[in-house]
């Protein structure tokens, strides 16, 4: 399809190439791992139990995250208040934290010995028992609610302000606005958001195990760990990864099938003003929602901050080298993410067969086991190069692939709208190829591109930095140094490193997101 002379044919081809790269990283690495297996792998009852648990908790976590994110995003979309911009930036934070830091932060607030339990104790109540299925969900909602809020908020703010103007002229109240403006937007945005969070939750391991309270909370990734490390059964590890990939792929296509692109309409890019929902009840409700969500998100971050400050003085000088390496990885990974995501988004945005497959391919990168990706890449790289020497580039590449779904989630709706609204005019004007990209698409995609790059860079700075078999302890990234400090009993210094990690991720996030700031008045 790419060889037909049509608008952005080159970009279409680039989109397919990018999708192929992602497939090679996901399916390819799993198949390569499988090819090294000895004997035929079988999945036992415990493996199927792990698969069921994984899919179940991921579905609940994703559903709850999105269900809660909708009212929070709406409240944020229709209110202006001091600190809103800071809160929107902080929304990026939980998601980019290294798992271990997020878990300890959450437990400082919700643990047996946490703040919430202390408050309950004052009231004469027993402490919270966070460990169990509900703990897993709580942690996943903490990690993903902010992301869902950001993605849905993006949808709200992409609604042309003219629509709200018109709605005000027509005397629409909140119910009519919901029906005619918000619901169609949500039908387009929510399925993709849901599936991205679902997929992210399927590869959870340490969070699920720790907060799940034990082996009841065995996820597929843990079963893969067991197969690889405990049994050295590469076939089983790969098979588990492939089953997970297949189920995730089906889920992704189903969810994308639910998405209904809304009829696009242009606007003049004015700042969105809302004339509805100005009554005291609405205002109060929104304020309460925002306060609750902020407290839920900010308290664990505050815990990480308070834990980290004393540790700052005890950090080894080497932490700065690790921070610089992380920064290089983050920037490279951010750029790579955009290089993959933009052509894929443009290919997926065009109404033609295969568009949905390109989008689904992009989502799958988070659904494949990080361990299996590491093993597959190791098998691929080792015959030609020293894996340790390639630790940082491989980390950047894998991080870029892992960030892709979020970048696509941000880019595709905007790309689709741009094509629908301005595509015909651009075609008439003969605006093609580079000129079209430069004059039309890049300016129109500025916000989501900023957000995508911000998220990719921040994510890369944070947790995904530890790829099995590609680590180099003497030249590791910041998350790696943090794990190293913890492993050497230096929990204080590790808390300090976590604070630096949090601060630098947020700074990166803010810097790139700033160009595409949601409240920017163009």
Partner 1 sequence: MPFCACPLLSDLWESPMRRTPLAIFAALTALPALHAAAQETPVLTVYTYDSFDTEWGPGPRIEPAFEERCGCDLQFVGAGDGAALLARLRLEGGNTDADVVLGLDTALTAAARDTGLFAPHGIEVPPLDLPVDWQDDTFVPFDWGYFAFVHARDFDPPANFRDLADSEAQVVIQDPRSSTPGLGLLMWVKAAYGDAAPEIWEGLADNIVTVTKGWSEAYGLFLDGEADMVLSYTTSPAYHVAAEADDTKTAAPFDEGHYLQVEVAARLAGSDQPELARDFLDFMLTAPFQTAIPETNWMYPAVTPEAGLPAAYDGLIRPGTALLLSPDEARAIRDTALDEWLTALSR
Closest separation between CB of residue 36 and partner 1, Å? 8
DSSP secondary structure, 200-216, as one string: HHHT--HHHHHHHTSGG
Interaction of residue 339 with partner 1, rule CB under 8 A: yes
Q: Which stretch binds partner 1 (CB under 8 A): 89-97, 151-159, 270-278, 440-448?
A: 440-448
Q: Could you give the 3-state DSSP secondary structure of residue 390?
A: coil
Interaction of residue 473 with partner 1, rule CB under 8 A: yes
Closest CA to 482 of 315, 302, 309: 315
CB-based contacts of 507, cutoff 8 Å, min separation 6: none
Distance CA(205)–CA(221), nearest Å, equals 6
Q: Are 410 and 455 in contact (CB under 8 A)?
A: yes
Q: Which stretch binds partner 1 (CB under 8 A): 3-11, 152-160, 400-408, 444-452?
A: 444-452
| Contacts for 290-295: CB closer than 8 Å, 24+ residues apart | 290/72, 290/75, 290/76, 290/79, 290/81, 290/87, 293/68, 293/72, 293/145, 293/149, 294/87
Interaction of residue 433 with partner 1, rule CB under 8 A: no
**Residues 359-418 within binding reach of partner 1 (CB under 8 A):** 375, 378-379, 382, 386, 388-393, 396
Distance CA(289)–CA(295), nearest Å, equals 10
CB-based contacts of 293, cutoff 8 Å, min separation 6: 68, 72, 145, 149
CB closer to partner 1, 80 vs 112: 112
Distance CA(461)–CA(453), nearest Å, equals 12
CB closer to partner 1, 88 vs 392: 392
Q: Which position among 486, 500, 501, 506 is part of the footprint of partner 1 (CB under 8 A)?
A: 486
Closest separation between CB of residue 159 and partner 1, Å? 21
Residue count, binding to partner 1 (CB under 8 A): 81
Q: Are 76 and 153 in contact (CB under 8 A)?
A: yes
CB-based contacts of 421, cutoff 8 Å, min separation 6: 264, 265, 266
**Residues 119-158 within binding reach of partner 1 (CB under 8 A):** 131
**Residues 306-335 within binding reach of partner 1 (CB under 8 A):** 316, 318, 325, 328-329, 331-332, 335
Closest separation between CB of residue 248 and partner 1, Å? 22
**CA Rg value for the chain:** 23
**Residues 491-510 within binding reach of partner 1 (CB under 8 A):** 491, 494
Interaction of residue 271 with partner 1, rule CB under 8 A: no
Closest separation between CB of residue 374 and partner 1, Å? 10
Q: Which stretch binds partner 1 (CB under 8 A): 67-75, 280-288, 344-352, 481-489?
A: 481-489
CB closer to partner 1, 72 vs 498: 498
Q: Which position among 6, 20, 35, 36 is part of the footprint of partner 1 (CB under 8 A)?
A: 36
**Residues 216-245 within binding reach of partner 1 (CB under 8 A):** 216, 222, 225-226, 228-230, 232
Q: Could you give the 3-state DSSP secondary structure of residue 299?
A: helix
Interaction of residue 438 with partner 1, rule CB under 8 A: yes
**Residues 90-109 within binding reach of partner 1 (CB under 8 A):** 100, 103-104, 107-108
CB closer to partner 1, 201 vs 259: 201
Sign, CA dihedral 440-444-448-454, equals positive
CB closer to partner 1, 363 vs 483: 483
Distance CA(415)–CA(269), nearest Å, equals 15
CB closer to partner 1, 245 vs 440: 440
Closest separation between CB of residue 445 and partner 1, Å? 9
Closest separation between CB of residue 140 and partner 1, Å? 16
Angle between helices 9-23 and 355-364 (to 10 degrees): 40
Q: Which residues of 390-405 are buried (b: 16+ CB within 10 A; e: fewer)?
A: bbbbbbbbbbbbbbbb
Closest CA to 363 of 275, 448, 255, 450: 255
Q: Which stretch binds partner 1 (CB under 8 A): 147-155, 252-260, 265-273, 482-490?
A: 482-490
The 172-211 contact track toward partner 1, x by CB under 8 A, reads ---------------------------------xx--xxx
């Amino acid at each position: 399809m790419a060889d037909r002379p049509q608008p952005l044919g080159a970009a279409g081809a680039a989109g397919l190439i990018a999708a192929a790269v992602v497939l090679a990283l996901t399916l390819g690495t799993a198949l390569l791992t499988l090819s090294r297996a000895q004997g035929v792998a079988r999945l036992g009852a415990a493996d199927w139990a792990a698969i069921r648990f994984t899919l179940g908790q991921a579905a609940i976590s994703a559903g709850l995250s999105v269900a809660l994110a909708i009212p929070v995003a709406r409240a944020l979309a229709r209110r202006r208040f001091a600190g809103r911009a800071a809160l929107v930036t902080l929304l990026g934070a939980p998601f980019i934290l290294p798992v271990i830091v997020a878990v300890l932060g959450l437990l400082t607030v919700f643990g047996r010995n946490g703040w919430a339990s202390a408050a309950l104790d004052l009231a004469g109540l027993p402490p919270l028992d966070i460990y169990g299925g509900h703990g897993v969900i709580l942690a996943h909602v903490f990690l993903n609610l902010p992301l869902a809020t950001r993605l849905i908020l993006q949808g709200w703010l992409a609604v042309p302000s003219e629509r709200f103007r018109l709605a005000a002229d027509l005397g629409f109240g909140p119910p009519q606005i919901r029906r005619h403006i918000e619901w169609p937007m949500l039908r387009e945005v929510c399925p993709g958001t849901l599936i991205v969070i679902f997929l992210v939750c399927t590869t959870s391991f340490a969070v699920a195990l720790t907060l799940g309270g034990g082996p009841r909370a065995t996820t597929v990734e843990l079963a893969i760990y067991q197969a690889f490390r405990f049994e050295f059964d590469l076939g089983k590890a790969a098979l588990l990864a492939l089953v997970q990939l297949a189920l995730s792929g089906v889920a992704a296509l189903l969810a994308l099938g639910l998405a209904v692109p809304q009829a696009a309409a242009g606007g003049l890019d004015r700042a969105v003003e809302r004339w509805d929902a100005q009554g005291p009840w609405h205002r109060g409700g929104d304020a309460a929602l925002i306060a609750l969500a902020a407290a839920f998100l900010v308290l664990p971050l505050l815990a990480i901050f308070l834990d980290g400050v004393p540790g700052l003085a005890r950090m080894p000088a080497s932490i700065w080298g690790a921070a610089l390496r992380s920064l290089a990885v983050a920037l490279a990974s951010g750029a790579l993410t955009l290089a993959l995501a933009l052509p894929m988004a443009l290919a997926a945005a065009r109404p033609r067969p295969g568009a949905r497959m390109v989008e689904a391919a992009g989502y799958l990168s988070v659904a494949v086991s990080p361990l299996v990706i590491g093993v597959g890449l190791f098998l691929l790289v080792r015959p030609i190069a020293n894996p340790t020497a390639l630790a940082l580039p491989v980390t950047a590449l894998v991080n870029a692939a892992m960030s892709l779904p979020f970048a696509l989630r941000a880019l595709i709706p905007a790309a689709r709208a741009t094509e629908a609204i301005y595509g015909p005019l651009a075609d008439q004007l003969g605006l093609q190829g580079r000129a079209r990209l430069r004059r039309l698409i890049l300016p129109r995609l500025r916000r989501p591109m900023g957000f995508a790059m911000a998220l990719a860079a921040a994510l890369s700075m944070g947790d995904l930095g530890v790829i099995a078999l590609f680590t180099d302890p003497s030249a590791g990234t910041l998350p790696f140094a943090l794990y190293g400090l913890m492993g050497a009993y230096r929990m204080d210094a590790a808390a300090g490193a976590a604070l630096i990690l949090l601060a630098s991720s947020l700074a990166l996030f803010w810097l790139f997101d700033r160009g595409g700031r949601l409240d920017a008045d163009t």
